[in-house]
Amino acid sequence: MIHFVLLISRQGKVRLTKWYSPYSQKERSKVIRELSGIVLNRGPKLCNFVEWRGHRVVYRRYAGLYFCMCIDEADNELEVLDIIHHFVEILDRYFGSVCELDLIFNFHKAYYILDEVLIAGEFQESSKRTIIRLLSTHDSMVEMAKEEATSIGNMIAQVTK
């Protein structure tokens, strides 16, 4: 299973963290510090796997962002690379050629997308189209709720005028 997912920028800033195994807040920041030290310092031609505390960390760099996933020794590292790519492709489709700023200002959306790709550290859906469809349904439900709220607000405002 995937124990956690980290998105770290080239400068070592955390852009997304998702923990599927219990790590206390203290451990979390330690893990992030340790791993960003290891991953960011690896050369470009090296393999995408790092052995770390009895686990394996699979990472992949997209522009200035490192996507890291921590897995068990017995898991398939090559597949995890594809899972990362799958996630990135969905981000790309959702945001329309995604960049780091999208993930900063819409970080919650990145989390929603991740929740459609992984649950409990396991892979959920291999169809990008399904995921995009689900997400847009969610978004439109939010929009509808907002419009409803503003229209009620307008009505109240008119009545009380």
Partner 1 sequence: MNPFSSGTRLRDMIRAIRACKTAAEERAVVRKECAAIRAAINENDQDYRHRNLAKLMFIHMLGYPTHFGQMECLKLIASPGFPEKRIGYLGLMLLLDERQEVLMLVTNSVKQDLNHTNQYIVGLALCALGNICSAEMARDLAPEVERLLQFRDPNIRKKAALCSIRIIKKVPDLAENFINPVAALLKEKHHGVLITGVQLCTDLCKVSPEALEYFRKKCTDGLVRTLRDLVNSPYAPEYDIAGITDPFLHIRLLKLLRVLGQGDADASDSMNDILAQVATKTESNKNAGNAILYECVETIMSIEDNGGLRVLAINILGRFLSNRDNNIRYVALNMLMRAITVDAQAVQRHRATILECVKDSDASIRKRALELVYLLVNESNVKPLTKELVDYLEVSDQDFKGDLTAKVCSIIEKFSPEKSWYIDQMLKVLTEAGNFVKDEVWHALVVVISNASDLHGYTVRALFRALQTTAEQESLVRVAVWCIGEYGDLLVNNAGRLNVEDPITVTESDAVDIVESAIKRHASDLTTKSMALIALLKLSSRFPSCSGRIKDIVVQHKGSLVLELQQRSLEFNSIIEKHQNIRSALVERMPVLDEATFGGRRASSLPNTVSTSSGTAVKLPNGVAKPSAAPLVDLLDLSDDVPAPSSSGGDFLQDLLGVNLPPATQSGTNQTPKAGTDVLLDLLSIGSTPAQDNNLSTPDILSSGQDNKPIIASLDVLAAPSLTHTTSSTASNMMDLLDGLDPAPPKPVENGPAYPSIVAFESSSLRLTFNFSKQPGNPQTTMISGTFTNLSSNLFTDFVFQAAVPKFLQLHLDPASGNSLPASGNGTITQSLKVTNSQHGKKPLVMRLRIAYKVDGKDVLEEGQINNFPRDL
CB neighbourhood size of 141 (10 A) = 10
141: contact with partner 1 by CB under 8 A? yes
The site for partner 1, by CB under 8 A, has a size of 53
What part of residues 83-112 is at the interface with partner 1 (CB under 8 A)? 83, 86, 104-105, 107-108, 111-112
129: contact with partner 1 by CB under 8 A? yes
Binding mask 54-83 for partner 1 (x = CB under 8 A): ----------------------xxxx-xxx
CB of residue 43 to partner 1, shortest distance in Å: 8
Structure tokens at 138: 């969610």
- CB neighbour list of residue 80: distance below 8 Å, 6 or more residues apart: 2, 58, 69, 71
125: contact with partner 1 by CB under 8 A? yes
Secondary structure of residue 115 in the 3-state scheme = helix
For 105-111, which contacts have Cβ atoms below 8 Å and span 24 or more sequence positions? 107/15, 107/16, 110/7, 110/15, 110/16, 111/16, 111/18
CB of residue 143 to partner 1, shortest distance in Å: 9
State phi, psi for 32 to the nearest 5 degrees.
-60, -45
Residues within the interface to partner 1 (CB under 8 A): 14-20, 22-25, 29, 43, 45-51, 76-79, 81-83, 86, 104-105, 107-108, 111-112, 115, 119-120, 122-130, 134, 137-138, 141-142, 145-146
